[in-house]
């Protein structure tokens, strides 16, 4: 049996530990491992912005915590540094995959993503077979190229970035391209004559990563659900990714 003083000490220590382990200890900085991927998380001099930044900034403000951003220059290091405890959460346009979930936990997805067809706005392709014999744009060695190999007798032109693909279609050098919706929605704002067409891959989602077993994952999930329940989420999508992104999210499309 424990002495009374020792009992009080154990209770107090347990309460302190619970507070420390909680997802949002009041006043403690929320340390974010961030990777510069405009328009999701970026910096312009001293200014920090982006969709991921604003979602986390809303969360930190609601919890009374300052947001501390730690920039990671190498994408491949983000999850490893998180797992080592160098941050509370990672924001790096991370797709929540089963492989990554063996290393870290994820919040609920904050934006759906999948490879989709990009084509002129006056076209509405319903099947890749409709593009038989067409010239299509892609990036070598990507899932985009794999998808477009399904086009019968396709001819290929190549770019290096998603913007390159859009320029090839807009200039008439390609009939269509495949691209990751999360990465192409921002550049699409500069190409009003183009739009997203049919999905070409299974649905996945971008999410925030947290350390294994951290309650922060569930707390962030509740926060994302609250943003979606109101209009803040859709305003953020339109601000950073454009009206098309907000429409797709509202319609449940990717």
* CA distances for 96 relative to 29, 108, 129, 205, 209, angstroms: 25, 9, 31, 6, 8
Q: CATH fold of 30-112+204-251, please?
A: D-Maltodextrin-Binding Protein; domain 2 (3.40.190)
For the CA atoms of 242, 192, 114, 86, what is the dihedral angle to 10 degrees?
A: -40
Cβ contacts of 190 within 8 Å, gap of 6 or more = 166
What is the largest distance, in Å, between two alpha-carbon atoms of the chain? 84
Which residues of the chain carry a pLDDT beneath 50? 1-22, 24, 253-254
Q: What is the pLDDT of residues 56-89, one digit of tens each?
A: 999 999 999 999 999 999 888 999 999 999 999 9
- The CATH architecture assigned to 115-199 reads 3-Layer(aba) Sandwich (3.40)
Tokens 């220059």 belong to residue: 73
Q: Do domains 30-112+204-251 and 115-199 have the same CATH topology?
A: yes
- Say what the pLDDT of residue 243 is: 82
Q: What is the pLDDT of residues 88-127, one digit of tens each?
A: 999 998 888 888 899 999 999 998 888 999 999 999 999 9
- Say what the pLDDT of residue 178 is: 96
Q: Look at the chain and count its residues.
A: 254
* In the chain, where the domains are located: 30-112+204-251, 115-199
Please give the Cα distance from 145 to 99 (Å, whole number). Answer: 22
DSSP assignments along 191-243, one per residue: -TTEEEEEE-S--EEEEEEE-TT-THHHHHHHHHHHHHHSSHHHHHHHHHH-H
- Say what the pLDDT of residue 25 is: 57
- Helix H or strand E segment including 53: helix 51-63
- Say what the pLDDT of residue 15 is: 35
């Amino acid at each position: 049996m424990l002495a009374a003083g020792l009992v009080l000490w154990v209770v107090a220590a347990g309460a302190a530990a619970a507070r420390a382990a909680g997802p949002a200890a009041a006043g403690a900085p929320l340390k974010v491992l961030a990777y510069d991927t405009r328009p999701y998380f970026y910096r312009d001099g001293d200014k920090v912005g982006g969709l991921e930044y604003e979602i986390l900034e809303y969360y930190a403000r609601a919890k009374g915590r300052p947001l501390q951003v730690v920039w990671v220059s190498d994408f491949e290091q983000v999850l490893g540094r998180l797992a080592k405890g160098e941050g509370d959460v990672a924001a790096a346009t991370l797709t929540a995959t089963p492989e990554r979930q063996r290393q870290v936990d994820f919040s609920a997805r904050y934006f759906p993503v999948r490879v989709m067809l990009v084509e002129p706005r006056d076209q509405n392709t319903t099947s890749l077979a409709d593009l038989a014999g067409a010239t299509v744009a892609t990036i070598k060695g990507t899932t985009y190229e794999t998808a477009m190999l399904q086009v019968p007798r396709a001819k290929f032109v190549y770019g290096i970035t998603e913007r390159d693909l859009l320029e090839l279609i807009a200039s008439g050098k390609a009939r269509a391209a495949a691209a990751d919706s999360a990465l192409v929605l921002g550049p699409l704002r500069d190409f009003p004559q183009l739009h997203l067409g049919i999905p070409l891959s299974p649905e996945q989602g971008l999410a925030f990563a947290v350390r294994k077993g951290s309650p922060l994952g569930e707390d962030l999930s509740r926060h994302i659900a609250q943003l979606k329940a109101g209009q803040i989420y859709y305003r953020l999508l339109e601000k950073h990714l454009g009206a098309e992104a907000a429409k797709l999210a509202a319609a449940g499309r990717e």
